[in-house]
Amino acid sequence: MAQLRIAMAQVNPTVGDLDGNCRIVVDYARRAAEAGAHLAVFPELVVTGYPVEDLALRNSFVSASIKATHALAAALAEEGLGELPVAVGFLSRRTGVGERFGQPAGSPQNAFALLYRGRVEVTSAKHHLPNYGVFDEFRNFVPGETLPVVRLRGVDVAFAVCEDLWQGGGPVAAARAARVGALITINASPYERDKDNVRLELCQRRAREIGATVGYVNMCGGQDELIFDGDSLIVDAEGELVARAPKFEENLFVTDLALPDAGEAPEPQGPVDGVTVVRHTVSADPVPAYAPQPPVLTPRPDPASDIGEVYRALVVGVRDYAVKNGFATAAIALSGGIDSALTATIAVDALGGDRVYGLLLPSKYSSDHSVADAEELAKRQGIRARTVEIAPVVAAFEAAMHLDGLAAENLQARVRGTLLMGLSNQEGHLVLATGNKSELAAGYSTLYGDSVGGYAPIKDCWKTVVWELARWRNAEAERAGEVPPIPENSISKPPSAELRPGQLDTDSLPDYAVLDALLDAYIGTDKGLRELAIAGYEPELVQRVIRMVDRAEYKRRQYPPGPKISSRNLSRDRRLPITNRWTPQG
């Protein structure tokens, strides 16, 4: 058996920041070299950030990515790191073929490169292009047709890109036929709740299929609505977990592996399931025997109580959206209710209390306890709070145009939204919208009112999950001997928009426990009226909820982005026409 020390860098690049991303690679490659690594591996499209979306269709951007990758290889050599093979993901293009109808302009490719001795030594491109959920890779890329197998320190190592591991056949079949000692995949795999061991089980299955060790390096950090959670790991040829990195943080993950000696390469053969093996030798001789380091095995929480991971994902989403878009501060309307309380707490954990500005906007219908709860929240968390009474502003609008009923209620929300955005324009804060997934799904929000903002931290959280997150965060504070950040009254009182006397959410919506389960079935799994009725829901309730959801599509199109934590969020995962006369009941 040969030895190989691999350093997997789960880093946090930013889309479009090619220079900054390459600096990250150089920094972590230096750390890998100092750790004695024989190979350093970085995530999918680390040079450009991921996802690049339609930037891939701009020839200038593709050219910049290729140029930056070659410059990165040279920079590594100039830094004395040229003898360390460094695997990166970058945006490339297929050459030697003309434009083809039905394929992305310019033939861009989601590519892999091995950088060595100042050169781009090996390249290939992603073969399987996902086109489901949040992924649109058929739109943006053309597929690759090769699997690079690199002889490195006497071991044959194959390299593949993300979806190439998730799909059977293709690169997986080619790796098996090539009799490799290890398959390394570079990934940008977004976080979803309940996904924790899906990657592990996938790697274990593929390792057994190939008969080789599988290494999986993943990106971390937030990019618009996507959160990348790291969770890089290595399994051996029998599928046993060897090492695992922490989640939601940048990390250089160094592991010593004992791998089969390469021996004689199999006779060249034609493509295997559409993929041709391309072999390259970097270093044929094994390293002298050395004492391996103990592997890192970061423990995972009980999957039955993963709410803490959801909370961490939301914090990462807010932090990176603010930082990567140049916002030093955030502003939020503090109502005293659970949604604004949780959103503010996430913002404080992401940015710090002194960088969160709370605006209390009481109307004549705001209860004393709601105002007191909002003030107490701000005090506990060090939020910079100010109060603006909106009654005079509302009265001025009403003097100009008489409104009543729902229109009058919505006016109050729109006045609040205008004041929040005015504060943002004046002082440069990122406004955080406080709506949850239940309200957004059912259309229980005011367009240009409580929906205003630049980012929506709890957009993908059902109302029942909002309560769960708030209780978890308070419990964590108590375990640490700290004052719970959220006043208990904000959690325990019945939710209300407080836009008319005695108003409660249950005046307009079913109980949230029932509503959320029904919404999750309709939105999350596309169950129709008949299936929902068979599942035990009252047909009349189902029809009512479906009508609310379908009529609110135009509102959701105009809602700010927010971190995706479920398998089916209300934007990238679910795309429906606004003008639509079809209903599940016919």
Sequence-separated (6 or more) residues with CB below 8 Å from residue 563: 222, 225, 226, 227, 313, 314, 316, 317, 318, 457, 459, 460
Q: Name the β-bridge partners of 93.
A: 108
Sequence-separated (6 or more) residues with CB below 8 Å from residue 98: none
Is 554 one of the annotated binding-site residues? Answer: no
Is 132 one of the annotated binding-site residues? Answer: yes
**Coil, strand or helix: which one is 459?**
coil
Is 16 one of the annotated binding-site residues? Answer: no
Contact 151, 281 (CB under 8 A): yes
Name the residues annotated as catalytic: 44, 126, 162
d(CA 136, CA 129): 8
Q: Which residue in the block uniquely carries the two structure tokens 């229109």?
A: 407
Is 324 one of the annotated binding-site residues? Answer: no
* Sheet hosting strand 119-125, strand order edge to edge: 119-125, 108-116, 86-93, 39-41, 2-10, 251-259
What's CA 472's distance to the chain center, in Å? 21
Is 261 one of the annotated binding-site residues? Answer: no
Is 225 one of the annotated binding-site residues? Answer: no
Is 425 one of the annotated binding-site residues? Answer: no
Is 365 one of the annotated binding-site residues? Answer: no
Is 333 one of the annotated binding-site residues? Answer: yes
Is 232 one of the annotated binding-site residues? Answer: no
Per-residue tokens: 140 = 């943006």
d(CA 330, CA 349): 12
Per-residue tokens: 390 = 């909106």
Sequence-separated (6 or more) residues with CB below 8 Å from residue 543: 529, 585
Is 432 one of the annotated binding-site residues? Answer: no
**Cβ of 422: how many Cβ atoms within 10 Å?**
11
What percentage of the chain's residues is helix, strand, coil (to nearest 5)?
A: 40, 20, 40
Q: Name the β-bridge partners of 124.
A: 112
**Cβ of 165: how many Cβ atoms within 10 Å?**
26
Q: Which residue in the block uniquely carries the two structure tokens 């080619």?
A: 174
Q: What is the DSSP letter of 231?
A: -
Is 210 one of the annotated binding-site residues? Answer: no
Q: What is the DSSP letter of 568?
A: S
What's CA 415's distance to the chain center, in Å? 33
CB-based burial, 379-404: b 16+ in 10 Å, e otherwise = ebbebebeeeebeebbeebeeeeeee
**Coil, strand or helix: which one is 365?**
coil
Burial of 274 (0-12, 13-18, 19+ CB in 10 A): middle
d(CA 104, CA 143): 11
Query: In this structure, what are the phi and psi dihedrals at residue 216, rounded to the nearest 5 degrees?
Result: -130, 110
Q: What is the DSSP letter of 521?
A: I
Contact 405, 511 (CB under 8 A): no
Is 586 one of the annotated binding-site residues? Answer: no
Question: Residues forming the annotated binding site for ATP?
Answer: 333-340, 434
Question: Residues forming the annotated binding site for L-glutamine?
Answer: 132, 189, 195
Question: Residues forming the annotated binding site for deamido-NAD(+)?
Answer: 410, 439, 555
Question: Residues forming the annotated binding site?
Answer: 132, 189, 195, 333-340, 410, 434, 439, 555
